[in-house]
Structures are given as structure tokens and as C-alpha cells.
Structure 1
């Protein structure tokens, strides 16, 4: 079997991190011996990988372009040589850079990734973004995008040859994320009456997620439907600001901050409608999880969101930064339970047909097979 070293910043909560952990877990089923390199130890997915026997290399550093970054590079080089790694597959900017350099020093095939819309400000620094564009893109054998929108942005903004780009959508576990036969116990556990319309969002509390826009939209909804409830799952640097916004908007206990939850699959079925208010989004795992759980989705019309949310079929798309239009969409679904159920059913069908783990694994298997001689 081919041996693949997945390289990622960390193995904490996050869409890319979960994707790497799941692909490593399933790797033997598509002919791959997995190894994982993370720049931070002690995260939630690390222990799970170790428990199932996936080797995890931890290579911490403070600055990629400092002396400890060089030490981390040589540590990865030694690992690749010792374990005879066939392919280095990196995710995010720092891993793309370190993984590509280590791989090319060893003469190993390299796949880097694009999981943004060409937003260089999200890549850590202008220096890193410039180095990745001018050097790493040339070293990589393939560059994998997780949406057509991200692929097109990489070609147009970074002038990456289209033949180097490959599209592999994120996969979703349709068994783990599925609608329950009876959601009443889930709602009861959260103290929510069955007759309340519950909007929910699962997102890191960061500026790019623009959760404050969803709060502004919910304020307008609550003026019409006083019993509506808004659940927020996640945490991050904007948490204090968002709690302040909820207070400023006099939303009281109709907005609940649930923090980071390891059991998101048990929380989602308590929602009636899933929201995503991001300013930019390459491809959202949170949307896929919500659709797999049988929820209709209201999302901003940015990046790869329209590739998974089919307008009028599995959800509604609204302009970014527009609480008025989001509120209209929320009221449309709040007033129409049959439409919610119909969209939720179609959304789950779409996950199973197009965005399953099985489909993603097969796409990866084909990508690795194409890179390796013989």
C-alpha cells in the first residue's frame, strides 16, 4: 500500500482537522497506510488517531521561518525517509510550505491544498502567502481544492496551471450525522419546547464567520416571532463581542451560547433551521453536517456555499452582510414547517449522493493512484 503523510497545523476542533482525522482513519480501505504530522500536540483528534494505531508526529515551532521552523523541517524530512513515505499531503498554509519543502528534499510526491478563496490575509502573513504563491505552488505535484470556487480562485488569483489543480469535496459521515426518529428527548435535554422554532449556527466565533449578522437577523425575526430561539455552538476570540451584541439587542435568554460541543451530531437535530453567515467560505463542513442531519440551510451566497446548498431545494442563499435578507429567509422557513422538512430531506439525499465519505475516499484514491508510478 502507498504510505501518505498528512500534514496539518493542529488536530483540534475544525473542519480541516476532522477531515484529516477521518481520511486517516479510513485510509486502509482505499489502499493507503496513513501517517499524520501536526504542529501542535494534545488535541482532540490526536488521541483518537493514536488509539486506532495511526502514527502521529508532533513538530511544534513558533515561527516557520525561524530556527525552530528549520528544526521542524528536518524532523519531518527524517520521518519521511525513515518511513519511506510515498506522498506528502498538506493542508493549510504552514503545512503546505513545510510539507512541500520536506517532500521535495526527499524526492517524494507532494499535494498541497486550497481551502480558502484566495484570501491571503487568512494565511498568517503576507510573507508566507507570497512564498506559498511564488515557490510552493511550483514545487507541488498537485494542489487539491475542496470546492470548485476555491479551485477557480486559485487559478485566477495565483495563476496556478489548471492541470495542477484537482477538486476533491469534503466527505461527510451520513451515519454519524443523521436525523433521529424522535428529537423530543434531544430538545428536552436542552430545555426546549417542541413548538418553538429554533435557529442554530455552528461556527468558530471569528470575524470571518460574521455571527453578528445572524444576531441582527434574529432580532428582526424575534420581533415577529417572540418565541423563536437562537442556539450558537462554538467559541473563539469574538465570543465576548457576540455576547455583548446579544445583550445590546435585548435578546435575553432567546439566544444561548453553548460553547464548543463534542456531540454536535446530538445538537443539530434540535435545530429547525441551520444558519451560516460567513463573509467568505471555501466549503463548509458545518453545512454538510447540518444537511446530513436533515436540516434546511440558510447560508450566504459566497465561495463554495452554492455548490452544496441548492437554492430553493435544500435551503436558501442570501447576500453576505445583509441581516435584512437573512431575516426574510428565516421567517419564510419559520412559517413553513412542510418546506423545512422537504428541504431537510432533499439536503440529506444530496449528502448521501454527492458528499459522502465514500465519494471523497474514492476521489483521494484516484488522486494518489495517478501520482504514483506503476
Structure 2
């Protein structure tokens, strides 16, 4: 069944949700659907690439909420989409009602974060109200969906789980590190919620036992300067390299020995799933969807949020045990294929696009 599908996002800057939307666009078009995107505030590098690939991108621009809703209504009336898929709260508030008024057959909202309590009550009430114009509200993991069900005024009958999925990372040969290095890889936004200071402190502890330890930080954000200074202060400036934002990350995944994240709150990071597709074992904080994925896959080690010594112990254990890494690698690949492929995620969304609540 051919469908006209429109994804709605806040922007198409670099980010996990934005990467996911771009991948959904490509697989849905490959399956014969007419796919476009609305990006409220700006195009961004992901939007520029989608445009170059022939996707129509509508950027209404920042405006008063009522004006924004009217712009979306005008756009949807011209476009006449079968499906409008809103990603995260702001696009849902901006576009869900307009999509319904325009006659779209299905309207969805996906929450890509953990939506962890304590809730911003006012914000969640607004989301719950506008989510009632959606046929389905999806959480990217069971933890997110359960949190959504307990939020104020939640439309619980509409809430379902669709795990994030990604295209596998291409295997390439990279000689960017020496054979003796044990390289940890972080890929993501350099933001406060990612709690990279805990990661740096864990590396500083682990280096005492694993002197050839390296940490690669791929990404950018407002606290990068502080983190670079902290790495120097901790005496690990030679062990840590900040690579900045990179559009092509395959070579980093291929050159790494393990993936690491220290987030204080997290849904299901796209970068974690990409690492799993290559069989990278993981060192993660036990939070939200991230802990859920690792318990499901049994492909890495968890530590409490903010506990640098515990994370350091995980790093040392993983770096010191080749057989454990090999077992984790095998499990990561198997779990990725079973739960987290782009095809599985797309199939789940297509089922929702074509079904109504009973």
C-alpha cells in the first residue's frame, strides 16, 4: 500500500532522533512511499543531506505557536499526507492538531527521551492534551512507555513501544590507533545530561591500571571546552581526544574496542545500537532504555549513574578480559539482529500507520 508520509521534527541538526528520522525517510522511500519532512526551526546538516538526496523539506521557521499551527495546517492541506509522524513533544504540540484537521488518516507521536519523573507537570499536561489528536504515542523503550503511562493526563490506551533501530555500521579497516591501545568510544551530543565528567573521572582512575587506555569523544556541544579543561586537570589529556562533530562515524566505530556512555538520563541512543551492529561491547550507566538494552542483550557492563569508581572498574574488567569482550561482542551482534535493525523498527511503524486503536 503506497502512502504519503510526513515526519515532523524540531530541526535537522545532528542528534539521535534526527538521525533516526533520516534513516526512516530513506527506508520508507525505498519501499515505495512518498516521504517528506517538516523541520520547524532550521534545516541543519542532516536536512541538507536529505535535500541533496531528493527529499522535500518544509521549514516554517520560528513563530508564535498559533501561527506555527496555522502554517502546518496550510502545508498539510496542500500536501495531503496519509500519515503525519511527530517526533518529540514540541513537534507534537505544533503539528498534531493541524494534521488531524487536514484529514491525515494516521497521526503519531514518538517520544525519544526517557520522560523520567519528576515530571515537568505543565509540559506533560500540554503533551497529553495534544497527544489525544494522535492515533498512537510510541516510546522508544519499555521504560519510556511506562513513564509516559504515569505522566499527568496520559492517554494510556494510545501508548505502545517501538524500539529504535538503525542501519548497521559498515565494516572498514582503520589504522588510526596502535595495536596496544584499548580505545573507548563515545559518540553523541556533548551536553550536561550526558554526564561526561563522570566518564572522564572513570578514565582517570582506570588509566592507573590500563596505561594504554584511550577515550575518543566524537560530537560537539556547549560543555566541550569545560570537558577539555577537565581532562587536562585530571592528567589524562594524552589519553582523551575530542574529535568534534563528524558526519561519517564508521571509522571511529571500527577502530574502537568498546563503546561507553555515562548519561544521567537516556532513552535508546542510536550510537549505542550502531556500536552493537559492529559487535562492540559496552560500558554504560544503568539508566532508562540504555540499561534496558544492555540487560536484554547481555553485551556489556552497567554502573550506577555518577559513580566514576564503578565505571572505572567496568573499564578495567573489560580491557583486561579478552574472552569476556568476545562473548559480549557475539551477544551484541545477535541482539542487534533480533531487536534493533532499521527494518524491524520500520515494520513496527508501518503496522501502526495502517492500524487503528481497537
Scaled by the length of structure 1, what TM-score is found? 0.89
Change (3 A) 1:320 1:311: farther
By how many angstroms is 1:121 displaced?
Answer: 8.9
Match of residue 303 from structure 1? 288
Match of 1:187 among 175, 183, 196: 175
Counterpart Cα distance in 2 of 1:178 and 1:343: 19
Any residues of structure 2 matched to 1:13-162 within 5 Å, and which? 13-30=14-31, 32-61=33-62, 66=64, 69-108=65-104, 109-119=106-116, 128-133=123-128, 135-162=129-156
- 1:54-96 per-position Cα deviation (integer Å, ceiling 9, x unaligned): 211111105xxx2xx3333222111111121122110112101
In structure 2, what is the equivalent of residue 167 of structure 1?
A: 161
| TM-score of the pair, normalised by structure 2 | 0.93
Unaligned runs of at least 5 residues, structure 1: none
Could you tell me how far apart the structure 1 residues matched to 2:51 and 2:192 are?
A: 33
Distance in 2, Cα, partners of 1:341 & 1:368: 39
Equivalent-residue separation in structure 2 for 1:365 and 1:254 (angstroms): 45
CA deviation after TM superposition for structure 1 residue 162, in Å:
3.2
Per the alignment, residue 357 of structure 1 pairs with 342
Secondary structure at 2:184's aligned position in 1? Answer: strand
Q: Which residue of 2 aligns with 1:221?
A: 206
2: distance between equivalents of 1:56 and 1:34? 10
Deviations 1:317-343 (A, max 9, x none): 111111111001000011012221221
Greater displacement, 343-352 / 326-335? 343-352
* Residues 22-73 of structure 1, C-alpha deviations (whole Å, 9 max, x = no match): 11111134453212100133412222222333211111105xxx2xx33332
Partner of 2:221, secondary structure, is coil
For 1:279 and 1:113, locate their aligned partners in 2 and report how far apart those are by CA, in whole Å. Answer: 21
With over 3 angstroms needed to count, the CA separation of the structure-2 counterparts of 1:163 and 1:74, relative to structure 1, is: same
Question: What secondary structure sits across from 1:321 in the alignment?
Answer: coil
Distance 1:312 1:275, change over 3 A: same
The count of aligned residue pairs is 356
SS of structure 1 residue aligned to 2:206: helix
Where 1:204 maps in the other structure, the secondary structure is coil
For 1:239 and 1:316, the matched residues in 2 are separated by 26
SS at match of 2:20: helix
Work out the CA distance in 1 between the residues paired with 2:60 and 2:97: 15
Gap change, CA 1:93 and 1:312, over 3 Å in 2:
closer
Mapped partners of 1:312, 1:45: distance in 2: 30
| Kept in 1: contact 2:43–2:59 (CA 8 A) | no
Secondary structure of the structure 1 residue equivalent to 2:246:
coil
CA contact (8 A) 2:15 2:188 kept: no
**2:158, 2:357 within 8 Å by CA — same for their partners in 1?**
no
| Deviation per residue, 1:319-369 (Å, 9 max, x gap) | 111111100100001101222122122202211221111111111111111
How much is the aligned-residue C-alpha RMSD, in angstroms? 2.2
Q: Counterpart of 1:313?
A: 298
Where 2:247 maps in the other structure, the secondary structure is: coil
- 1:229, 1:254 within 8 Å by CA — same for their partners in 2? yes
Q: How much does 1:120 deviate?
A: 7.7
Give the secondary structure class of the aligned counterpart of 1:157: coil
